[in-house]
Amino acid sequence: MKVLRELCKDGRFSLGAAVFLVLAALALLTPFSPYDPLEWRVVPRDMPPSREHLLGTDSKGQDVFWQMTFAVRNSLALAVSAAAVSRVIAVTVGLVAGYRGGIIDRVLMFISDGFLVMPLFLIIVMLAMLVREYMNTVNLAILLGALGWAWDARLVRSQVLSLREREFTYTAILSGTPTRRLIFNEYFLFIMPLVFTTLINNMAWVVGMEITLSLIGLTNLAIPTLGAMLRWAVTYQAMLLGLWWWLLAPIGVSVALFVALYLVSLGTSEYLDPRARIQRVGTR
């Protein structure tokens, strides 16, 4: 709670967290939806925003507001799942490479560097095309999580390399502390802030990739996501037909989500910056 209070003193973090909580609240409204998100022609088509339909209806005969709640829920679930998968891989690779060193470090960093220099977007597109008919949110989360860990693994490795040379590591080794206990009881306390900040950045990357893949038709468009909503609006030429509310909903929510994640990441990174921490202590 003390950390949260300190973070909330940063206006950027507070604003980003507030926007993110609003979007999360929208996602929690899905159980109360009066419409099935997979059914078409349940409401009059192409209706502008009104008291009955807050964000209007689309050309598929769906309520845009309630469709957006499902899209936010699925996009957030996808982002969290993919980011969690990539954190597991990044932390495991970074810890093993940084602590063990030697040939293991060189092999793992060679693999990591390979992911960094490869055209990742083209690889994701190619793999998505190969498994297009199975590209639901679960498989997409696994795909993006399995390919989005390389840079963060190097960050974790660099942190572990620094920790390995500190006095408490030598003291623990000389006292016979098992490696597992040293890593989980000591190292994790230092790398968890780094894992959290990279988690937020990875979530933004996942949402952007999902929107991009949906726009080029490589995801299951029957599942409501921010990218799928935007793709359907473009397909039905919402801009030419003047259905601005259909485009505004996914674009506005996507921009709000990106800004919220950026502000939370910015505030968290500054809070964890050692120089900023020294300045906070010095002003007390």
DSSP character string of 222-246: TS--HHHHHHHHHHTTHHHHT-HHH
- Whether the per-residue pLDDT at 27 is higher than 50: the answer is yes
Phi-psi region of 273 (alpha: psi -120 to 50; beta: other; left: phi over 0): beta
Contact 200, 268 (CB under 8 A): yes
The rounded distance, in Å, linking the Cα atoms of 71 and 66 is 9
φ/ψ (deg, to 5) at 72: -65, -45
CB atoms closer than 10 angstroms to residue 172: 17
pLDDT given at position 102:
85
What's the burial of 36, exposed, middle or buried (CB within 10 Å: 0-12/13-18/19+)?
exposed
Closest by CA position to 182, among listed 99, 280, 260: 99
> H helices of 101-149, where?
102-117, 120-130, 137-147
Q: Which residue has the higher pLDDT, 161 or 281?
A: 161
The rounded distance, in Å, linking the Cα atoms of 279 and 270 is 11
Helix axes 150-164, 188-215, angle to 10 degrees: 170
pLDDT given at position 190:
80
What average pLDDT does the segment 151-168 reach? 85
Closest by CA position to 223, among listed 269, 231, 130, 279: 231
- Whether the per-residue pLDDT at 3 is higher than 80: the answer is no
Rounded percentage of the chain residues whose pLDDT exceeds 90: 48
pLDDT given at position 235:
92
Write down all domains in the chain, each with its CATH number in brackets.
Answer: 75-282 (1.10.3720.10)
The rounded distance, in Å, linking the Cα atoms of 232 and 236 is 6
What average pLDDT does the segment 210-236 reach? 92
pLDDT band with cut points at 50, 70 and 90 for residue 73: very high
Closest by CA position to 251, among listed 71, 73, 56, 46: 71
Q: Which residue has the higher pLDDT, 74 or 274?
A: 74
Rounded percentage of the chain residues whose pLDDT exceeds 70: 94
**pTM beyond 0.75, yes or no:** yes
> Which two three-digit tokens encode residue 158?
């660099």
Closest by CA position to 68, among listed 259, 250, 228: 250
pLDDT given at position 282:
47
Tens-place pLDDT, residues 242-284: 899 999 999 999 999 999 999 998 888 777 665 555 454 444 5
* C-alpha distance from residue 72 to each of 110, 130, 265 (Å): 37, 27, 20
The rounded distance, in Å, linking the Cα atoms of 49 and 63 is 10
- Whether the per-residue pLDDT at 2 is higher than 80: the answer is no
- Whether the per-residue pLDDT at 149 is higher than 50: the answer is yes
pLDDT band with cut points at 50, 70 and 90 for residue 11: confident
What average pLDDT does the segment 73-94 reach? 93
Tens-place pLDDT, residues 169-220: 777 777 777 777 777 777 877 888 788 888 998 999 999 999 999 999 888 8
User: What's the mean pLDDT when you consider all of the chain?
Assistant: 87
